[in-house]
Copies of this chain bind each other. A is one copy, B any other.
Amino acid sequence: MSEAVWRVLADRGFGQLTLRAVAAEMGASTGMLTHYFPAKRDLVRYAHAVAEERTLAALYRELDVTGLAALRAYLLDVLSLTPEATAMNRVWVSFWDAAIGDPELAATETARYERWRGKLRPHVVAAIEQGEIPADRDVEDIVASAAALTHGLVVQALFDPDRFPPDRQTRLIDDYLRTLTCP
């Protein structure tokens, strides 16, 4: 079930997530879907959960590094460095559109962002404690700008993969992290 939803999501996006498309993808009927999802809204919620689960799967792995190196690892996880990551990012960008028009989805996206920043925050704190980042910098602002730069690169890479190959995306993140170290 989650497989079928993900396949529809990955190659058509959130806007084209339709009951019949999912049903066809799993060789079933729309009646079966309405049995599990009384309304379309429920299917969208489930699809959102599926996408988030796939995202977090990569995010919750253990790291053997701390501070800036850990921050770097988490940011690279989000970039479109592999075809799978690119598909993931396409899904999330399409979700942004859906969320703009739906207050409930917008709220979940707000929460997702805060969760992501919460994941990055301790490593910024550690980087400051380890002296990798000047202590007078604001933690919350660094987290927000790191997230911003990363998602900004994601969007540009989505529309211009030739100009933003994996090694350049990585280099841009590294350049950014380097500027964090200077006072």
How far in angstroms is the closest Cβ of chain B from A80? Answer: 12
The reply to whether A148 and B158 form a contact with Cβ atoms under 8 Å apart is no
The reply to whether A148 and B172 form a contact with Cβ atoms under 8 Å apart is yes
Bound: A90/B71 CA distance, A: 29
| Interface presence of A132 (CB below 8 A) | no
A31-39, A43-51, A119-127, A173-181: which one contacts chain B?
A173-181
Mark interface residues in A7-22 (1 if CB within 8 Å of B CB, else 0). Answer: 0000011111000000
Interface positions of A from 29 to 71, Cβ below 8 Å from B: none
| Interface presence of A183 (CB below 8 A) | yes
Bound: A153/B164 CA distance, A: 19
Point out the residues of chain B lying under 8 angstroms from A85, CB to CB. none
Task: Evaluate whether A109 and B152 lie within 8 angstroms (CB atoms) in the complex, with A90-B100, A100-B13, A145-B175 already known.
Answer: no
Copy tally for this chain in the complex stands at 2
Residue of B nearest to A158 (CB): B100
Point out the residues of chain B lying under 8 angstroms from A158, CB to CB. 96, 100
Closest 6 pairs between A and B when the two form their complex, measured CB to CB: A148-B152, A97-B97, A152-B152, A179-B179, A182-B182, A151-B152
**18 pairs of residues in contact across A and B, judged by CB atoms under 8 Å:** A15-B15, A15-B101, A93-B97, A96-B155, A96-B158, A97-B97, A113-B160, A141-B172, A145-B149, A145-B153, A147-B156, A148-B148, A148-B150, A148-B151, A148-B155, A152-B155, A155-B155, A182-B183
Known: A94-B100, A97-B97, A152-B152. 5 other contacts (CB 8 A): A16-B101, A141-B168, A145-B153, A149-B149, A150-B152
State the A residues within 8 Å of B (CB).
Answer: 12-16, 90, 93-94, 96-101, 106, 109-110, 113-114, 141, 144-145, 147-153, 155-156, 158-160, 163-164, 168, 171-172, 175-176, 179-180, 182-183
